[in-house]
Structure 1
Amino acid sequence: MTCLSSVFYVNNFTDEEINAEHGSKFHHRQANESGFFDKLKEEVELRKQMNMAELNDLDEETRIEVEGFRTGTYLRLEVHDVPFEMVEHFDPFHPVLVGGIGLGEENVGYMQVRIKRHRWHKKLLKTRDPIIVSIGWRRYQTIPVYATEDCNGRHRMLKYTKEHMHCLAMFWGPLAPPNTGVVAVQNLSNNQATFRIIATAVVLEFNHAARLVKKIKLVGEPCKIFKKTALIKNMFTSDLEIARFEGAAVQTASGIRGQVKKAAKEELGNQPKKKGGLPREGIARCTFEDRILMSDLVFLRAWTEVEVPCFFNPLTTALQPRDQTWQGMKTVAELRRENKLPVPVNKDSLYRPIERKARKFNPLVIPKSLQAALPFASKPKDILKRKKPLLENRRAVVMEPHERKVHALVQHLQMIRNEKMKKRKLKETEKRKRFEAEKAKEEQVSRKRQREERKERYRAQDKQSKRIRKGP
């Protein structure tokens, strides 16, 4: 009972009294806090003035040892092992920034970055084209390999960067910590007609052992065919390579699937041999779902690892005159342009219309012993056409006058029957159309009546609900 009465007593306060009480407590607490902070500030300032008074009495060297170098103090740095070109081509109008790097940034290794082509750069970036990257305190030229991560975690190499999306890039160079910004350019020339920055990126991982792969298709042809086994040549170069691909899936151009078993040496027979009498290597034994033909091509689709070039070239712009442009490794396109070399064209890579001849398969032959055991529905019922017509078809049939009259009468009756059936079908079609038209009209009238009934019902329900809300 005490609890209930106390709750009832609290609820009897008015809102104005509660607000006034809370406001006074809040202002009182705020005043106390501001006074505490002011007191702390006064103590800090007093201690600072006392320290300054004590330090002013000391000489400069002792004060530096106690306090350290103050802001705005000039320093003299001595740098050893500087190339003489930097002193010779030093320009005082270009200041030199001095900075420090962490211990982890002194090593060299692979870095993985998330890169995106700049939207103002007109061309896509090509894998293994040298670029100049600026990461932290360093600028150097490197050779990136672009890739994308599939849904199964595989890093698949890209020949070019994506149009409007991010992709991954792996390159070799001095390491930088994750989340470091990267800016990439193609060259340092200021006389470019297009936009200069080609891409922006951010470092994801360094010393990353990501395995980049790309698709590979090995093509071979059969050299000897057994029932469902065949020896495939020109697909592998050695028995060691066949051992690497044992159990891999293969497929013919006609769609027959198979599997690589092992290297075939004892089954070659009269196949050509290498010099010295040893059997030729690189011939694999494969099994298929069905017997293949000698004209079939056999494909093996696999993934091969891509190596990232271990190359980086630091920029030495401070070791040459300012009016010269630093020149690093050139791209393949620039070398072709300078030497006036045409772009090589692979005829197999050109798009051309493919004309495939329809293959004619041999007819299905069921042994007679198996036909006897089959049910009647599954037995072959194809009657072959006779090369020579039967005697009844070869001889001329001369009808008697009575037979001719009977034959003409049967033909007339057949014609009358066909005409009756045609007229009956036309009448049935017209009757069906009339019935469907009448049915559509009835459905339209029925829908209209149902719509009116629903309107009346909803109107009555609305009136009743309004009457209930108003009350008596």
Structure 2
Amino acid sequence: MHKQAQLNRAEFEDQDDETRVQYEGFRPGMYVRLEIENVPCEFVLNFDPHYPMILGGLGNSEGNVGYVQLRLKKHRWYKKILKTRDPLILSLGWRRFQTIPMFYIEDHNGRQRLLKYTPQHMHCGAAFWGPITPQGTGFLAVQSVSGTTPDFRIAATGVVLDLDKSITIVKKLKLTGFPFKIFKNTSFIKGMFNSQLEVAKFEGAAIRTVSGIRGQIKKALRAPAGAFRATFEDKLLMSDIVFVRTWYPVSIPAFYNPVTSLLQPTGEKDSWRGMKTTGQLRHERGIKLKQNKDSLYKPIVREKRHFNKLHIPKALQKALPFKNKPKNLEKKGRTPRDQWRPAVIREPHERRISALISALSAVNNYKMKKAKVKHRQQLKEYLKVKQKEEEQKLKRQKEAKKKIYRMLGQREKKRQKSSLKGSSEGEKSM
């Protein structure tokens, strides 16, 4: 390249500048005059030579404005996290402009879910309305360009991903309803939708109760409006709350505000301020944030619920094993009925009679117990004798059977021998 430059210089050294520009173009160090049309008059009136300007050019497709998708990450030195719908100033390509980005993250199924804040130490997606910029262009974002701040000012960095106008960012929407008629596993739900058409769009959707019973939307009812029939895994209670999880598309605000700090008067170029956040406006005007009563913590008061006694049908009780059958036993610690009866005070004669009867009954019980033990012992001995007799009887029967089978076998052998002799004599006579 150095040799080529020396050859060019030697070749065109004798010619004038106009001819050299036609062949070589404008050489470094030459002065060039540019004419730019439709420049605001404030740019000329408030021109400050202390602010250098860089001249650049845009491609044919970069003059349009549309939806741009970015991959964005909050700068690790920036103290605050960024919030969706808060205005942000981007330095993207040749432009500096203020816009309202919407942060999202892409789920495993391709759904672009809205984020309220930028995640810590992780990339996320962002979409905004602004100038079309080629893919792969890097950018940096700041929240304010006015004045000087002692803290780190670059809020986020990233790169342009896509220029797709059909981007759909969604956020969670939970619809709730309440049962007004309950059958076995079927219930009629109201308060979730407003019309039969809305119910028709959600036919077959999975629903759940707060207690964890899963179900499915079946069909809309004629009255009341928005009510529907649903089936569940188990029977509901009237106190159950039914909800369905849905996704609602979020629109990206079409806000694009170029930073016109060079049009400010001399000495005020670093005081440009664009759209302010709601928090800044509230702070400047001294407006206090109204607290939502539903967002405050309250003491939880729950009424004690009384459930009905478990009823098991008789047919099912018969089929159950004994350990699982309900036992109709009295609870321990219950006082017998005799304690509520009035005490009987006996006469001395009656006491002696009662003592004699109790002594006689004790003697009788002892005799009965002794007799039972003796009877059991006799029964054991009797069973042993019977068992021995039974064994001897079986032994005798076996021996008798052996004798009989032995005699039958001998008789059969004799018959066979006699038949063989008869056949041999017949053959000899022939």
**Length-normalised TM-score, structure 2:** 0.72
Contact 1:181 1:203 in 2 (8 A): yes
In percent, how many aligned pairs have the same letter? 51
Structure 2 counterpart of 1:336, from 274, 282, 289: 282
Equivalent in the alignment of 2:201: 244
With 90-99 and 127-136 compared, the bigger mean Cα shift is at 90-99
Structure 2 counterpart of 1:197, from 151, 154, 158: 154
Equivalent residue letter for 1:159: K
Structure 1 counterpart of 2:221, from 264, 272, 275: 264
Equivalent in the alignment of 1:289: 233
Equivalent residue letter for 1:339: R
Give the deviation of 1:404 after TM superposition.
9.0
CA distance in 1, matches of 2:316, 2:189: 36
CA distance in 2, matches of 1:134, 1:403: 114
Cα-to-partner distance string for 1:308-351 (whole Å, 9 max, x where unaligned):
21211111112221433112111010121123222233333344
Equivalent residue letter for 1:291: K
Equivalent in the alignment of 2:428: none
5+ residue gaps, structure 2:
345-353, 367-430
**Is residue 357 of structure 2 the alignment partner of residue 374 of structure 1?**
no
CA distance 1:200–1:364, change in 2 (3 Å): same
CA distance 1:198–1:242, change in 2 (3 Å): same
Cα-to-partner distance string for 1:113-163 (whole Å, 9 max, x where unaligned):
222222222211111000101011100001111122233332221111112
Equivalent in the alignment of 2:91: 134
Give the deviation of 1:78 after TM superposition.
0.8
CA distance in 2, matches of 1:406, 1:168: 97
3-state secondary structure, aligned to 2:257: strand
Mapping of residues 30-41 of structure 1, within 5 Å: none
Contact 1:371 1:379 in 2 (8 A): no
Cα-to-partner distance string for 1:49-71 (whole Å, 9 max, x where unaligned):
4x555534444433322332222
Mapping of residues 23-422 of structure 1, within 5 Å: 49=7, 52=9, 55-207=12-164, 209-265=166-222, 268=223, 280-324=224-268, 325-352=271-298, 354-357=300-303, 359-368=305-314, 370-371=315-316, 374=319, 377=322, 380-383=325-328, 400-402=357-359
CA distance in 1, matches of 2:233, 2:320: 28
**Length-normalised TM-score, structure 1:** 0.66
3-state secondary structure, aligned to 2:103: strand
CA distance in 1, matches of 2:360, 2:240: 63
CA distance in 2, matches of 1:116, 1:53: 53
Equivalent residue letter for 1:117: K
CA distance in 2, matches of 1:107, 1:395: 104
CA distance in 2, matches of 1:55, 1:401: 148
Equivalent residue letter for 1:374: A
3-state secondary structure, aligned to 2:262: helix
Cα-to-partner distance string for 1:392-448 (whole Å, 9 max, x where unaligned):
9979896644279789x9xxxxxxxxxxxxxxxxxxxxxxxxxxxxxxxxxxxxxxx
Contact 1:104 1:175 in 2 (8 A): yes
CA distance in 2, matches of 1:48, 1:379: 105
CA distance 1:403–1:294, change in 2 (3 Å): farther
| Structure of larger gyration radius | 2
CA distance 1:263–1:339, change in 2 (3 Å): farther
Cα-to-partner distance string for 1:286-311 (whole Å, 9 max, x where unaligned):
22122212111111122222222121
Give the deviation of 1:375 after TM superposition.
5.5
Contact 2:317 2:325 in 1 (8 A): no
CA distance 1:403–1:235, change in 2 (3 Å): farther
CA distance 1:308–1:286, change in 2 (3 Å): same
CA distance in 2, matches of 1:203, 1:75: 33
Q: How many pairs does the alignment contain? A: 352
Across the aligned residues of Structure 1 and Structure 2, the Cα RMSD in angstroms comes to 3.4
CA distance 1:236–1:60, change in 2 (3 Å): same
CA distance in 1, matches of 2:130, 2:198: 33
